[in-house]
Chain A
Amino acid sequence: MLYGIDPYLPPFLAMDRAMRESLAASADRRINFFSESLDSQRFALETLEPEMAALLARKYKALPINVVVAVSQTALDFFERHGEQIWPGARVVFVGFLGYEFKPSALPPGASAVLSTLDVAGTIEIARRLQPGSPGIVVISGLSEVDRRAEQQAREAFAKLDVQPSVEFLSGLPLAELEARVAAVPPDGIVIYLAQFRDRDGRPYEPHDVLRAVVKASRSPVYGAAETFIGLGAVAGSVASYESRGRLIGEQVRRTLAAGPMDPTGTVLAAPNRCLADARALQRWSLDAGRLTSDCEIRFADVPIWRHYWWQIGLTLAVVAAQATLIAALLSQRRRRRLAEQAEQAQRTELARAARRATAGELTGAIAHEVNQPLGAILTNVDTAELMLDSGRDRSDELRLILANIRRDDLRASEVIQRLRELLGNQKFERKEFDINGVVEELEAIMRAEARRRGVTIEIRRAPEALAIMGDRIQIQQVLINLLLNAMDAVTEQPEARRTVAVSVAKSDKGALLTVRDHGHGVAPEHRAKLFESFFSTKRNGMGLGLSITRTIVEAHGGRIWADTALEEGTVFQAEIPLASASGAFAPS
């Protein structure tokens, strides 16, 4: 691949790719590509040529080359001068513009050509279609050899027009000046950009950069005659597709390789020109696309994007939709799960409350007794006081004693009511520091009353030292009540000697240890594993919530609960709760 100009310009890259694809699809053997660039637009080739030729000759000395694709007239000229020396036996495929740089008759022997036309006339026609009433045309070109040839072609095209427009040529202006001149063109004017590789000061340019600057500066529409100009801001032009040129080159190279060495070729293929427009540029300058011929391809329109990539877009949308559906499903699942969890939490709270009410219900007898006893005593004391007053003697000392007793009994009754209210209340989980001994003390009267009611002897032992734990006092009360009622249930049907229950609080290594021991029937081995499970009960009327809730509460206080049991000997329940000073693991339920 011998390029007269920079091979990395976008049009050449597109052309090169199409050529290689075409060859790869059709060739019956592997083809090695080598690229050389003369870059004559930006470097003075005449001064470098001897050294460059010598370098290439040396480079390809041991490497036979079958075909040289010479891109541009400069490359073809170079090949004619040095080809035999550098690439002996190689045949040339010329790629260039018909007319202004090449005549088919000038083709060297054994050479073939892929040609395209710089269709200045077609581009002018497109411009005049879009802007029929335009007052004048400005043509921009550079001063390199290629630039000058293009400009020459443009002048010839204008000469052929029936109606001569007012045309101004801006040739080889330095960029700043060019921008100023373009900006001065009236909005309804037409700007045709041919290409500018070099200005009058010999400064080299990348023609696409110049186009970008012109488009930016111009108030009037800019037209271009190269495919790659459409998309950079040029409105439209009659262009030959580089891709189709690339495919033609590939085709021609394959043919050349297949032909015998003496096979006369001289084939000339021409890539067709066609109208190409940029929807965004049309919109920018408020030009009506309807004025274009129907075969004109409009690129960069919103709809064409969809049309071009309909299946990719469709697939992407489908994937996105599937993904969105999945995400929505997952979110909804998560939401449902959260709702279910909330409902479960509420249910658990409600169950705990129900269990507490049930507990209180079980304790009704004890509570009634505990209230009734002081009430009975009060009544009797009042009766006695009346009698004393009726006796007519001064008995104020005795009366004072009776009044003190009445006050004591009244307070005792109201305290029981207060406890009951606490137990039944719907308070939120409270996190406070309190002494677990206090809980035992508060419940002692009720528990003793309940034990009395059931004919059970109860033994209560508190720890000698204060054992402060962090959490909810009422919940811990419930733990104690549950364990005690459980223990009393276990001994109810035992003979009197075994109807005993012992409660104790002590300090352990890990915190406060609450122990409730009964001498009941014990727990059958097959039931032991399920002891703390919800809705498991061996009692006839048991809900099976007591121990499960007890465990939940103990664990919410960062503690643990376990049972040791032996058949016909009894059961020991122990709950260990970390002390407040050490309860880092505490988590409210």
Chain B
Amino acid sequence: MSETPLIHVVDDDESMRSALLLLLGEVGFEVRGYASTGEFLMQPLPDRLGCLLLDMRMPGPSGLELQAALQRQNITLPIVFLTGHATVTSSVAAMKAGAVDFLTKPVRRDILLDAVQRALARDAAQRTARAETDQLHARFAALTPRQREVFERIVAGKLNKQIAYELDIAERTVKREREQVMAKLDAGSAADLGRLAELLRSTDR
């Protein structure tokens, strides 16, 4: 990955924020600081590998509230929470909602950077997975209506003869369309097709 990851730091405390930005900048990340959750939401979020270092308690909407807001918008930017005073309730809530980690200030460099690395790894994985499904959807979109009908029936476990009968076409035509579908969707077998169909259904937008 040639792209430099972009780390977002949301902390209302100016000292803490600038210290974090300096450190992350020093280890080679690109950084952006925000004094409140609102400020973060107002900035356009570039489509780049990155993560969010988020202070738990701030004036106005809290870190947890921002986490919920991002989820509603399907923004999967991984979050590392930072807090001065960790309570069980807030840390459980954060982890359940998918936070990468929940760190207590003051935080040591190795722990912080480790959490950041894990967040970035998660983001990278998410981005890869998303790229794959995007490609699959694009391929699926390239199928003709007749090929889609054939595809649906193949993954439903029907034989060529049954498909030909249901679609009122020759069995030979079914065979040819089937080969086309396998080629377009880059599938090696009927089992492959089934897995792709599952993936398509689950990421249907």
Residues in A neighbouring B107, C-beta threshold 8 A: 376, 379-380
Residues in B neighbouring A455, C-beta threshold 8 A: 57, 59, 62
* Contact B106 A379, beta carbon cutoff 8 Å: yes
A349 within 8 A of B: no
- Among B26, B27, B58, B60, find the residue whose CB has the most chain A CB atoms closer than 10 A: B26
Stretch of B13-21, B42-50, B71-79, B139-147 that contacts chain A: B13-21
* Contact B20 A380, beta carbon cutoff 8 Å: yes
Residues in B neighbouring A387, C-beta threshold 8 A: 23, 26-27, 109
Q: Which of B22-74 contact A (CB under 8 A)?
A: 22-23, 26-27, 57-62
* Contact A380 B106, beta carbon cutoff 8 Å: yes
Number of interface residues of A (CB under 8 A): 33
Query: B30 CB to closest chain A CB, in angstroms?
Result: 16
Q: What are the interface flags for B130-168 relative to A under an 8 Å C-beta threshold, 1 for contact and 0 otherwise?
A: 000000000000000000000000000000000000000
Stretch of A365-373, A535-543, A572-580 that contacts chain B: A365-373
B201 within 8 A of A: no
A409 within 8 A of B: yes
Query: A371 CB to closest chain B CB, in angstroms?
Result: 9
B12 within 8 A of A: yes
Query: B76 CB to closest chain A CB, in angstroms?
Result: 26
Chain A residue, CB-CB nearest to B25: A384
Across the interface, A373 reaches (CB within 8 A) one of B16, B22, B23, namely: B16
* Contact B15 A383, beta carbon cutoff 8 Å: no
Number of interface residues of B (CB under 8 A): 25
Q: What are the interface flags for A440-474 relative to B under an 8 Å C-beta threshold, 1 for contact and 0 otherwise?
A: 00000000100111010110000000000000000
Residues in A neighbouring B58, C-beta threshold 8 A: 452
B105 within 8 A of A: yes
A-B pair number, CB within 8 angstroms: 85
* Contact A372 B105, beta carbon cutoff 8 Å: yes
**Complex formed: what's the CA distance from A373 to B19 in Å?**
11
- Among A384, A448, A455, A457, find the residue whose CB has the most chain B CB atoms closer than 10 A: A384
Query: B66 CB to closest chain A CB, in angstroms?
Result: 13
* Contact A383 B84, beta carbon cutoff 8 Å: no
A405 within 8 A of B: yes
Query: B167 CB to closest chain A CB, in angstroms?
Result: 58
* Contact B85 A365, beta carbon cutoff 8 Å: yes
* Contact B105 A383, beta carbon cutoff 8 Å: no
A161 within 8 A of B: no
Query: B115 CB to closest chain A CB, in angstroms?
Result: 13
A423 within 8 A of B: no
Residues in A neighbouring B19, C-beta threshold 8 A: 376-378, 380-381, 384, 405
**Complex formed: what's the CA distance from A408 to B15 in Å?**
9
* Contact A368 B23, beta carbon cutoff 8 Å: no
Known contacts A372-B106, A373-B105, A451-B59; is-contact A388 B16 (Cβ 8 Å): no
* Contact B84 A368, beta carbon cutoff 8 Å: yes
Q: What are the interface flags for A542-557 relative to B under an 8 Å C-beta threshold, 1 for contact and 0 otherwise?
A: 0000000000000000
Residues in A neighbouring B16, C-beta threshold 8 A: 373, 376-377, 380
Known contacts A368-B85, A387-B23; is-contact A405 B60 (Cβ 8 Å): no
B108 within 8 A of A: yes
Chain A residue, CB-CB nearest to B15: A377
* Contact B105 A376, beta carbon cutoff 8 Å: yes
Known contacts A383-B23, A387-B27; is-contact A375 B59 (Cβ 8 Å): no
Interface residues of B (CB under 8 A from A): 12-13, 15-16, 18-20, 22-23, 26-27, 57-62, 84-85, 105-109, 112
| Given pairs A372-B84, A398-B22, 6 additional interface contacts (CB within 8 A) | A369-B84, A372-B85, A375-B106, A380-B112, A388-B26, A452-B59
Task: Please name the 9 residue pairs, one residue from A and one from B, whose CB atoms are nearest each other, closest first.
Answer: A376-B105, A383-B109, A376-B106, A377-B15, A380-B19, A379-B106, A384-B23, A377-B19, A372-B84
Q: List 26 A-B contacts (CB under 8 A).
A: A368-B84, A368-B85, A369-B57, A372-B84, A372-B85, A373-B84, A376-B16, A377-B15, A377-B19, A378-B19, A379-B108, A380-B20, A380-B107, A380-B109, A381-B19, A381-B22, A384-B22, A384-B109, A387-B109, A398-B22, A405-B15, A405-B19, A408-B15, A412-B15, A455-B59, A458-B59
